[in-house]
Amino acid sequence: MTTNGTDDNSTQSIGSVRVYTFYRVAFSLLFLTILLSGISRGLFAATVPLIQSGAIYAFVATSAVLLAHALWRHFALHPSALFVHLVVDIGCMAALTFGSGGVASGFGVPLLITVACGGAAFGARLALLLAAIASLAVLGQEVAVALTRSGEPGPVAAGLLGMLLFATAISVQRANSRLRGAQQREAVHADAAAQLQQLNELIIQRMLTGIVVVDQSGRIELINAAAVGLLGGHQPQRPLALRQFLGVCPPLLKLFQRWKSYPWLQAPTFAAGGTEIQASFASLDQRDSRRTLIFLEDNRASAQRAQQLKLASLGGLTAGIAHEIRNPLGAISHAAQLLGESDASDGSVQRLAEIIVRHSERLNQIVENVLQLSRQKPAEVARFDLKNWLQKFITELAEHSDGSAVIEVDTSGPALLVEFDPSQLNQVLTNLLDNALRHSAEHSGARWATLELGTDAASGRPWLDVRDRGPGIGAVVQKRLFEPFFTTSHTGTGLGLYISRELCAMNRATLEYRAHGNAAASAIGACFRIGFAHPDRVLDQRPRTTET
């Protein structure tokens, strides 16, 4: 930092010396021309002509010496040498002022420029010393004027000029100090910015994720080593480097052009350099141009991470199964023992038999749910009108129920197209309605549920809400709603919502719990929303059918 500050000060001093040198040469040549042309008599009086003309010749000579010295040193004069030149300049101007009749002639005013140059080039002490020398020179020549000729000297004018010289030196020096401070701070900030940029470049180059920045035409402006490796750019026949076009990797160029036209679509994977790569794009808006940031990831690594998560989930699922099976089996075993030891005519035999049956059914339901989850087939996505489908679904559900359930749904209005596997949607909705009807009956005494449909205004995605009149769901329970084997019911298995969310994920949909306005959850029941994928913004190329 000190080096930068010194360089800035030297540069500023060089500029001051350059300006002052050319000013002094031009000023001296102007006086010499006036003197030699003979028009000086009409412009300014000469009370001592010999001293006046001698001062002009001396001023021209010292200006020539200053110019030669400055050119030789490339205007980088040492402070002591510059100080000597300025003092000589003050002496010449003082002699010229004396030969022209004193301060009243106006020749003392150019001393302000000399002092200002010192204030710009020196520190506070040298600047004040130069102002003091100039003030003494002005007062000295006024005393000489009073001693060598008759008339009234101008001590007041000389004093005012001296004060002005000091004021000029102080103001210029302070302004120069502030300017130097600002330059030093700017140098510090520039150095910090350069270091931060180097750090960012180092981080980007060491990242395992491939990073590519391209301009609007597809020209590469930044690429890290990971991206080069993933795209096979290390191969001699297809090098990747700055200022090249994405055309060297046709699959990535095709995805880039596709993203510019349809930025909401998720890019499919592509093969490059013997690797399956997943690309994602982000826009970097700038003033003059639009740049795009491309992230490249090895899809095999992502698949491995997903598989590891699945294995971890499967481990937790297995532990949950073992825990949940032990409890009913223990009850069954204990009941069976008691049943074997009791008298057949005892009235408790019936109660024990009921315990065996109830827990056996619960155990069978758990096993069925786990088998269903593990044997789940891939989704066969179809596009259909959700309103027509719900009408058929409600009709079939009413035929297989006892008629006590009330399910309200409004299917009027235009069609609402969705993409989902109809059989899996049937399974999800059946589970959600069973929960809604059961909780409504337990809380209000009536088996009631309502279905609401709509389209999200921001994303355009269709949605379906399932509401009940149950006691609602507390904040603590909400965090664990979709965990496997978590249930608040003594008869539930805790797999219904977990399986439903998994089925929704297989169909690129979401299942989430939603709160009702500002009212308490216990007063308004529960609401679960299925958020379907946008039917016109396909995220993959899986085959699909259309149902009427």
Predicted pLDDT of residue 507: 82
- Number of neighbouring beta carbons within 10 Å of residue 261: 7
Domain borders along the chain are 2-190, 205-301, 382-546
CA distance 350 to 432: 34
pLDDT at 464: 93
DSSP conformational letter for 140: H
How high is the pLDDT of residue 522?
43
Q: Do 449 and 406 contact (CB within 8 A), yes or no?
A: yes
pLDDT score at 243 = 76
Listing DSSP states for 74-96 in one string gives TT---HHHHHHHHHHHHHHHHHH
Q: How many CB atoms lie within 10 A of CB 358?
A: 16
Residue with tokens 């001396």: 58
pLDDT at residue 89, rounded to an integer: 86
**What is the enclosing helix (H) or strand (E) of 213?**
strand 210-214
Q: What is the DSSP letter of 73?
A: T
How high is the pLDDT of residue 517?
43
pLDDT at 412: 82
Report the pLDDT value the prediction gives residue 479, as an integer from 0 to 100: 79
Q: What is the pLDDT of residue 356?
A: 74
Q: Which residue has the tokens 């619960």?
A: 362
Architecture of the CATH domain 205-301 = 2-Layer Sandwich (3.30)
How close are the terminal C-alpha atoms of the chain, in Å? 76
**What pLDDT is recorded for position 268?**
86
Which residues in 454-479 are b (16+ Cβ under 10 Å) and which e?
eeeeeeebbbbebbbbbbbbeeeeee
Per-residue pLDDT at 151: 44
| Per-residue model confidence (pLDDT) at position 321 | 67
**DSSP-derived 3-state class of residue 393:** helix
Q: Give CA–CA dist 103/115, Å, rounded.
A: 17
Residues 494, 20: Cα–Cα separation, whole Å:
90
Identify the residue whose tokens are 């308004």.
524
Confidence at residue 307, expressed as pLDDT on a 0 to 100 scale: 47
In DSSP terms, which residues pair with 449 in a beta bridge? 407, 468
Does 382-546 carry CATH code 3.40.50.720? no
Q: So what's the pLDDT on residue 540?
A: 46
Low-confidence stretches of the chain (pLDDT < 70) are: 1-12, 38-47, 149-154, 233-239, 273-275, 285-289, 300-324, 326, 329-330, 333-334, 336-350, 353, 357, 361-378, 458-459, 488-494, 516-524, 537-548
Q: Is the dihedral of CA 476, 481, 483, 487 positive or negative?
A: positive
Please give the pLDDT value at position 389. 93
CA separation for the pair 319, 253 (Å, rounded): 47
Position 384 scores a pLDDT of 92
Residue 446: per-residue pLDDT:
86
What is the β-pairing status of strands 406-409 and 448-455? parallel
Whole-prediction pTM value? 0.41
512 DSSP β-pair partners: 529
Which residues on neighbouring strands pair with residue 408, listed in sequence order? 450
Cβ neighbours of residue 65 under 8 Å, at least 6 residues apart?
85
